[in-house]
């Protein structure tokens, strides 16, 4: 069982977000770090370093408006990624930043704004084709803040029209991932508020549309692993955004609040694979942008936590679990999960890393590398030359 658990780590390829290495914050404030990325090249360099240390982060998610420009087109960014030892991963549309999106993007009552949002989305799909990305990711801030502000049913139909048009533009190899979130910034109703709404939109759009589950975008009482189990059974789970939640938002490192929940989610994936004879095709992506933790350390910590919890879930004794489930032996069945969760897997993850020529502890290796201190010094100097405000000593 240990050997299979270690081997299963090859299934867990985790995409890092370009924006997670730059200075970002909350609506209330931004706390700057000297070591944070200044430009796209810095973002990919940091992601490349994280991949070099962890061995499981070969791709980087990009936000089109933040990572591309007229001066830095698709070919230029792809070359930057290649030089950093990684590849461009999912293409993330930006349908929330422009002033025109005050009343929404795909759901906006103004047809001209909807067309603007669709044109941007189609550009993102074409950009993905240029750089060899098979994932097009959509998150919408659309919704309303007040009853009567707009027609909920009409907004649903507008979304269906826009998503169908996006799906029609996909290449045969591309998948469209539709993310959901219960609230913020729309506090009366959100157009894609839960997994069921995303599911309906995806089924209506076409077979290359799948649901994206962000582990932070749920109310505290929601059973995320049940959502995962249902989507797996329906062949509609397209990917994850890894983080954690205290309420219903994200940007906390994975497992920092409830590691047992992430274990239970991974348990559903391993259980599906055990029954189907193969692992499902799922995109595992990090969506975090840290305002307090050192950015590089936070990314590496998240990846290591994901690997630990993945291996723990792989250690679940499936035969014993199914036996106890058939017998209705509730305590014994639960203890099968708890036994696996409480297992120290440091030796197993170290074994996998050794087989890849990696250090047993990537975080420790990062700290000893001097990379953090070097980028903090170099980037603080560059910010001074560019007249950009600098931060503290976090790397």
Mean pLDDT by 10 residues, the chain (395 residues): 95 97 80 93 98 98 91 92 98 96 98 98 97 97 98 98 98 98 94 98 98 95 96 98 86 94 98 98 95 94 98 98 98 98 98 98 98 96 89 56
CA distances 170 to 134, 167, 212, Å, are 9, 5, 17
The reply to whether 350 falls in a domain is no
Q: pLDDT value at position 65?
A: 87
The number of distinct structural domains making up the chain is 1
Any idea what the Cα angle at residue 163 is, between residues 158 and 166, rounded to 5°? 135
Q: Which of 186, 189, 133, 197 is nearest to 163 (CA)?
A: 197
What does pTM read for this prediction? 0.95
In angstroms, how far is CA 308 from the centroid of its own chain?
18
The reply to whether 384 falls in a domain is no
Q: How far is it, in rounded angstroms, from Cα 304 to Cα 1?
A: 21
The reply to whether 336 falls in a domain is no
The reply to whether 78 falls in a domain is yes
Domain holding 86, by residue range, is 11-295
CA distances 143 to 65, 192, 337, Å, are 22, 8, 39
The reply to whether 199 falls in a domain is yes
The reply to whether 300 falls in a domain is no
The reply to whether 349 falls in a domain is no
Domain of 224, CATH number, reads 3.20.20.150
Q: How far is it, in rounded angstroms, from Cα 316 to Cα 320?
A: 9
The reply to whether 264 falls in a domain is yes
Q: How far is it, in rounded angstroms, from Cα 314 to Cα 318?
A: 9
Q: pLDDT value at position 247?
A: 81
**Residue written as token pair 């422009």:** 98
3-state secondary structure of 244: strand
């Amino acid at each position: 069982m240990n050997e299979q658990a270690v081997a299963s780590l090859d299934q867990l390829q985790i995409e890092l977000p370009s924006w997670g290495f730059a200075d970002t914050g909350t609506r209330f404030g931004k706390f700057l770090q000297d070591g944070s990325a200044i430009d796209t090249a810095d973002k990919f360099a940091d992601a490349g370093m994280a991949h070099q240390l962890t061995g499981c982060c070969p791709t980087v998610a990009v936000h089109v408006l933040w990572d591309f420009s007229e001066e830095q087109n698709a070919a230029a960014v792809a070359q930057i990624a290649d030089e950093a030892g990684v590849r461009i991963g999912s293409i993330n549309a930006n349908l929330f930043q422009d002033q025109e999106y005050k009343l929404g993007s795909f759901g906006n009552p103004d047809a001209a704004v909807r067309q603007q949002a669709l044109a941007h989305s189609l550009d993102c799909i074409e950009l993905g084709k240029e750089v060899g990305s098979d994932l097009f990711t959509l998150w919408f801030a659309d919704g309303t803040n007040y009853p009567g502000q707009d027609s909920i049913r009409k907004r649903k139909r507008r979304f269906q029209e826009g998503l169908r048009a996006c799906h029609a533009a996909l290449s045969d190899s591309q998948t469209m991932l539709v993310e959901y979130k219960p609230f913020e910034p729309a506090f009366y109703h959100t157009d894609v508020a839960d997994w069921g709404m995303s599911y309906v939109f995806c089924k209506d759009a076409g077979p290359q549309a799948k649901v994206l589950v962000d582990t932070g975008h749920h109310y505290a009482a929601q059973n995320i692993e049940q959502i995962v189990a249902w989507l797996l059974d329906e062949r509609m789970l397209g990917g994850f955004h890894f983080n954690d939640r205290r309420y219903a938002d994200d940007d906390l490192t994975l497992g920092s609040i409830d590691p047992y929940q992430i274990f239970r989610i991974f348990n559903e994936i391993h259980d599906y694979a055990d029954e189907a004879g193969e692992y499902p095709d799922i995109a595992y992506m990090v969506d975090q942008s840290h305002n307090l933790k050192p950015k590089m350390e936070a990314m590496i910590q998240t990846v290591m936590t994901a690997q630990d919890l993945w291996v723990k879930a792989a250690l679940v004794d499936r035969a014993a679990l199914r036996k106890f489930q058939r017998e209705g032996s509730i305590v014994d069945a639960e203890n099968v999960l708890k036994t696996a969760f409480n297992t120290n897997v440091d030796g197993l993850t170290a074994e996998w890393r050794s087989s890849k020529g990696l250090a047993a502890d990537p975080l420790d290796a990062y700290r000893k590398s001097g990379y953090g201190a070097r980028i903090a010094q170099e980037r603080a100097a560059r910010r001074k030359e560019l007249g950009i405000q600098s931060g503290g000593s976090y790397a």
